[in-house]
Structure 1
Amino acid sequence: MIEDNFFDIYYYSLNKQNEELCGDQVKFTKTETKSTIVLSDGLGSGVKASILATLTTEILITMLDADLPLKEVIETIVGTLPICQVRNIAYATFTIITLDHITNKFHVINFDNPPIFLLKKGVIFPLKHQTEQILNKKINSCQGILERGDFLGAASDGILYAGLGNTMNFGWGWENIAKFMENIFRHKATNSRYIIEQIVNETKKLYCDYIGDDATFVGVYIRKPKPLMIFTGPPLDVTKDEEYAEQLLSFQGRKIICGGTTGNIVANYMGETIEMDILTMSKELPPIGKLKEVDLVTEGILTISKAKEVLIKCNFDISRLPTIKNGAVLLAREILEADSIYFLVGQQINEFYQNPLLPKNISIRRSLIEDLVQLLRNYQKQVILEYC
């Protein structure tokens, strides 16, 4: 039986020196059953390269998500891309990675990008590549099965060429990157972001902070999922308070309560009392609470609304979160660290927050949560929404 795994996808790009736009582009999509990742490297740099790479990724993702035959997809994009008459190469290269969440199988299609990197148990694993001609162009492919702890990565040539003209005649090179990655795993890599940032930061050093070419690395690390449940708002049927409190407490993952009444429902069920952390109180937000078996307790609507603002302001980048410790920032951090988020939303109306212009069945809380859910899904978060 295939164990429950999370496909942790992340990418990081460096723009060529003095260029506002990156000539490399990455796009990925996720469903319950599969993930699709596309990396495209536009010829040259700047606006032209960025447009070519963007078009390539968009076309590939759209066709692959429509479940069109892979051969047809490749023929379409290869036939669409023009050839540079000077260099006799395509105006955009690409790497496609498809991941089956049910079987853990991966399939890689590579057109003129560097070979893929696969690490198993922290060691580079050799892959057997097949080459075929499609419209007179060589297309390389490989496939295999991923297990927990494996890492699969793809790079644009700007990563490999780092150091060119300095200490290495031919840049950093594939083999040196592979050895560097093995060293990262010796220090207990736990997520894609850490692995990829180490690689790209080393690339930047080898360029001596003068980036000679757009450089991108994208990868997927297979790890244990990090689920999160957020219980907010008292249930419509008060006789089911204990049922939903138990649903939260039995959840296998991080647990958050947003709302004073909701917190009291859970605390009463447990026979406990919520303790307030006065140090986290501010002019804008009430303090957070502490309750055994629950990872975070905050005020409700105000905190959720502020957390949404924080997420937008930091552009879903956890490294850009404010350092201040309040309910909104702590809630935003929990959301960013989670892979999947289960919202359990009570529909009992709090008249204090209710907009008199809205029908009674459309609460401020419900509208806020639905906006947040859509925002999270736009950033590839897996979200389940249940009303109670």
Structure 2
Amino acid sequence: MTLDTFIDIHSASLNKRGEELCGDKVKYLKTGTKTTVVLSDGLGSGVKANILATLTTEILITMLNADVPLEEVLKTVIGTLPICRVRKIAYSTFTILWVDGHTNHFKVINFDNPAPVFCHRGRVQPLAMETQEILGRKLQSAEGQLDRGDFLGAISDGVLYAGMGMTMNFGWGWDNIAQYVEGVIGSQAHTARSIVKRVVDHTFELYQGQVGDDATMVGLYMRQRHPLMIFTGPPLEEGQDETFVNRLLEFEGRKVVCGGTTGNIVASYLGEMVEMDLSTMRRELPPIGTLSGVDLVTEGILTLSKATEYIRQCHCDLGRLRFDNNGAYLLAREILQADSIHFLVGQSINEFYQNPLLPKNISIRRSLIEDLVAILRRFQKEVTVEYC
């Protein structure tokens, strides 16, 4: 994968009417070498289906991430899932989407879910699925190549059959879904979220608000990477100020400065003054500033702390971030809009903010950054930290 290319992933679900839990489950894991996505559909709905789907996704993700041979993984899952005696079908179906992190070559494994949707250069291309039998059960697989602008999605039955018995006799149908995805990709800004959300929203409309089955879609969209660098805290050695300001200003991506002293270091290098935007000041938060070539300038400790709180509350979902034109909201938005975040953390300690119970080499700033990084990584954000 080229450094400026990013695999954007998003999933959305509709619960069957009257159910608090969804019987579908999506889980994905990104590492430096591969991206693995699993969608599982548990038989029935509610708690039992949710448990079955969760069990299936956990087994698959854990074993695939441990580099267990694919055939052994599939044998384990199929051997674990019993057959419904009445309906003669598996208690849980699944789709695996796997992408090589270096080449963007992908593989799809499908077990009794609707066929995946692959859109290449704006047009849906049916995948040439091959059938293999494992422990008496038939699975289908296909391979291909993801290029920038391509979309690969998996759906559960609830999407396929939306509208059945209402506006359509046999539901939405795969061909109509594929055509709808083409239309979305051809008509609006492209993110995995925008594509998946449009499909799931239309599914809800076809059910006329009375969702007859758990409905889930997960999509991978190959797009340009959105990198972010956050420079916070003055470097330990004063002579290094210019080096790290240069690193920030030469960074190809969004640039944020957090901290009054850090902002003044950058301003001095640029021969400017930090100009304050008083409309962004709040009782508990200082205002943001402006500097040439920097996308956002905020205060440090208080803003970082509040932004971390916002990100935790919205579960790292930009769509759930509550708007308020203050420094912490703007910082949280920059972080959530980014695909990869590089923190450049100066270790010079401001005694005013130092906790006397902490050792001198552990600052409140560093603790805050470590807390924020842990949250972001938990939600699969690509994060690196460099102390200076």
**TM-score interval, smaller chain:** over 0.9
Matched, 1:119 2:155: no
Matched, 1:377 2:358: no
* Aligned residue number for residue 233 of structure 2: 233
| CA distance in 1 between partners of 2:141 and 2:182 (Å) | 23
Shift of 1:81: 0.4
* Aligned residue number for residue 85 of structure 2: 85
Matched, 1:193 2:193: yes
Shift of 1:220: 0.3
Matched, 1:350 2:333: no
Q: Are 1:191 and 1:221, in contact at CA under 8 Å, matched by a contact in 2?
A: yes
Secondary structure at the aligned position of 1:7 is classed as strand
**Per-residue deviation, residues 236-266 of structure 1 (Å, max 9, x unmatched):** 0000100000000000000000000000111
Q: Are 1:36 and 1:97, in contact at CA under 8 Å, matched by a contact in 2?
A: yes
| CA distance in 2 between partners of 1:3 and 1:128 (Å) | 30
| CA distance in 2 between partners of 1:72 and 1:186 (Å) | 40
Gaps of 5+ in 2: none
Q: Are 1:17 and 1:212, in contact at CA under 8 Å, matched by a contact in 2?
A: yes
Secondary structure at the aligned position of 2:234 is classed as coil
* Aligned residue number for residue 46 of structure 1: 46
1:342 maps to a residue whose letter is: H
* Aligned residue number for residue 206 of structure 1: 206
* Aligned residue number for residue 297 of structure 2: 297
Q: Are 2:316 and 2:376, in contact at CA under 8 Å, matched by a contact in 1?
A: no
Secondary structure at the aligned position of 2:353 is classed as coil
Write the mapping of 1:250-261 to structure 2, written as runs, cut at 5 A: 250-261=250-261
1:311 maps to a residue whose letter is: I
Report the RMSD for the aligned CA atoms in angstroms.
Answer: 0.9
**Per-residue deviation, residues 112-161 of structure 1 (Å, max 9, x unmatched):** 00001000111101211100110010000000110000000000010001
Q: Are 1:233 and 1:262, in contact at CA under 8 Å, matched by a contact in 2?
A: yes
Shift of 1:316: 1.7
Shift of 1:2: 5.2
**Per-residue deviation, residues 3-38 of structure 1 (Å, max 9, x unmatched):** 741000100000000100000000000011211000
Write the mapping of 1:55-204 to structure 2, written as runs, cut at 5 A: 55-204=55-204
Shift of 1:313: 1.4
| CA distance in 1 between partners of 2:370 and 2:211 (Å) | 42
Shift of 1:218: 0.2
Gaps of 5+ in 1: none
2:245 maps to a residue whose letter is: A
Shift of 1:322: 1.9
Return the TM-score normalized by structure 1.
0.99
Q: Are 2:341 and 2:384, in contact at CA under 8 Å, matched by a contact in 1?
A: yes
| CA distance in 2 between partners of 1:188 and 1:150 (Å) | 14
Which sits farther off after the overlay, 233-242 or 316-325? 316-325
Shift of 1:189: 3.6
2:220 maps to a residue whose letter is: V
Aligned residues: 388
Q: Any runs of at least 4 consecutive aligned residues in structure 1 with deviations exceeding 2 A, and if so which?
A: 1-4
Q: Are 2:234 and 2:346, in contact at CA under 8 Å, matched by a contact in 1?
A: yes
Identity among equivalent pairs (%) = 64
2:333 maps to a residue whose letter is: R
**Per-residue deviation, residues 88-133 of structure 1 (Å, max 9, x unmatched):** 0000000001111100100000000000100011110121110011
| CA distance in 1 between partners of 2:63 and 2:178 (Å) | 32
2:141 maps to a residue whose letter is: S
| CA distance in 1 between partners of 2:91 and 2:330 (Å) | 45
Secondary structure at the aligned position of 2:351 is classed as coil
1:102 maps to a residue whose letter is: H
Write the mapping of 1:351-366 to structure 2, written as runs, cut at 5 A: 351-366=351-366
Q: Are 2:9 and 2:221, in contact at CA under 8 Å, matched by a contact in 1?
A: yes
* Aligned residue number for residue 223 of structure 1: 223
1:196 maps to a residue whose letter is: V
1:259 maps to a residue whose letter is: G
**Per-residue deviation, residues 176-200 of structure 1 (Å, max 9, x unmatched):** 0011111112213410000000000
Q: Are 1:189 and 1:195, in contact at CA under 8 Å, matched by a contact in 2?
A: no
* Aligned residue number for residue 12 of structure 1: 12
Question: Cα gap change, 1:128/1:3 in structure 2, threshold over 3 Å: closer, same or farther?
Answer: farther
Shift of 1:321: 1.7
| CA distance in 2 between partners of 1:382 and 1:319 (Å) | 19
* Aligned residue number for residue 286 of structure 1: 286
2:253 maps to a residue whose letter is: G
Shift of 1:380: 0.3
Q: Are 2:225 and 2:339, in contact at CA under 8 Å, matched by a contact in 1?
A: yes
